[in-house]
Amino acid sequence: MTDSAIPVPLLHAEGIVKTHHGEGAPAHAVRGVDLTVQRGEFVAVTGPSGAGKSTLLHLLGGLQRPDSGSLRLDGETTDGWTEARWALERRRRIGIVFQFFNLVSNLTVADNVELPALLAGAAAKQARAEREKLLTELGLESKARSMPGELSGGEQQRVALARALVNQPRLLLADEPAGSLDSKGTREVMRQLAGFHQRGQTIVLVTHDARLASAADRVISFFDGRIADDAELAGTPPRGNGLTGVLELKD
């Protein structure tokens, strides 16, 4: 195989380190991580509380900066990117969903989803079309005029997912997206993540829940700031159909 045939990874982290300096002793959250994510992968990062999973995800999305190490996105180094550059790239290339949805409470569902498209410079018509497509895919078309506070947790997280995907980012980062949901909401959101992955979306999911991690096709076990294990899920059908554990969750 020639060099030109080797695919450029979507994400490539080398030796990234992050220590938090808060009130007490420094927290060595990420202690030197090498990680490559190819286009189309669904990677779950799992591990106990405090292992450094969220910090790792924040580093991958530029919400925090590594103290050392390097991170390439689509083959391009992010070293030296300013806040403004990261904000721009998060609008264009990286969608993020968080545990607590972070929707704008005084905007309708439709406006929440359209906003990042308009901020990225899309024409109003195009933003509306993309919003309608996503809300329909996510089973939320009847909620377009609702306010976030009128929706269930699972519905709010699906709106957050639509918002994260409205600019068709190459990478979707999800930080405990089911962490505040009941089992029905968890099932809905995980089913949607698996569906987007089947349609080619690259996803990095952080979860402390091994059952949810089994929806991915690669599971990274994170422990004490380091990758303890990195495994393709044996026997998992391709493209993240491994939802058995999630779908068995009781209400």
Ligand X SMILES: Nc1ncnc2c1ncn2[C@@H]1O[C@H](COP(=O)(O)OP(=O)(O)OP(=O)(O)O)[C@@H](O)[C@H]1O
- Pick from 5, 49, 234, 250: which binds ligand X (CB under 6 A)? 49
Q: Could you count the other beta carbons within 10 Å of the beta carbon of residue 84?
A: 8
Going by C-beta distance under 8 Å and a sequence separation of 6 or more, which residues neighbour residue 3?
Answer: none
Segments in 61-209 forming alpha helices (H): 83-92, 109-119, 124-137, 153-165, 183-198
Is residue 191 close enough to count as binding ligand X by CB under 6 A?
Answer: no
Is residue 213 near ligand X by the rule CB under 6 A?
no
Q: Is 149 in the site for ligand X (CB under 6 A)?
A: no
- Rounded to whole angstroms, the Cα distance separating 114 from 190 reads 23
Binding residue for ligand X, selected from 12, 53, 158, 211, defined by CB under 6 A: 53
Q: Segment near ligand X (CB under 6 A), from 52-60, 161-169, 187-195, 229-237?
A: 52-60
Quick one: which of 46, 54, 214, 236 contacts ligand X (CB under 6 A)?
A: 54
Residue 13 to residue 186: CA distance in whole angstroms:
30
51 in contact with ligand X (CB under 6 A): yes
Using the minimum distance from each CB to ligand X, give the nearer residue, 49 or 82.
49
| Collapsed DSSP state (helix, strand, coil) of residue 223 | strand
Closest contact distance (angstroms) between CB of 134 and ligand X is: 27
Tell me if 55 contacts ligand X by CB under 6 A.
yes
Question: For ligand X, which is the closer residue by CB, 20 or 191?
Answer: 20
Angle at 44 between CA 50 and CA 96, to 5 degrees: 85
The continuous run of DSSP H or E covering 229 comes out as strand 226-232
**Token output for 96:** 């993020």
The least distance separating ligand X from the CB of residue 143, rounded to whole angstroms, comes to 29
Q: Is 94 in the site for ligand X (CB under 6 A)?
A: no
- Residues lying near ligand X in the complex (CB under 6 A) are found at 20, 22, 27, 29, 47, 49-55, 208
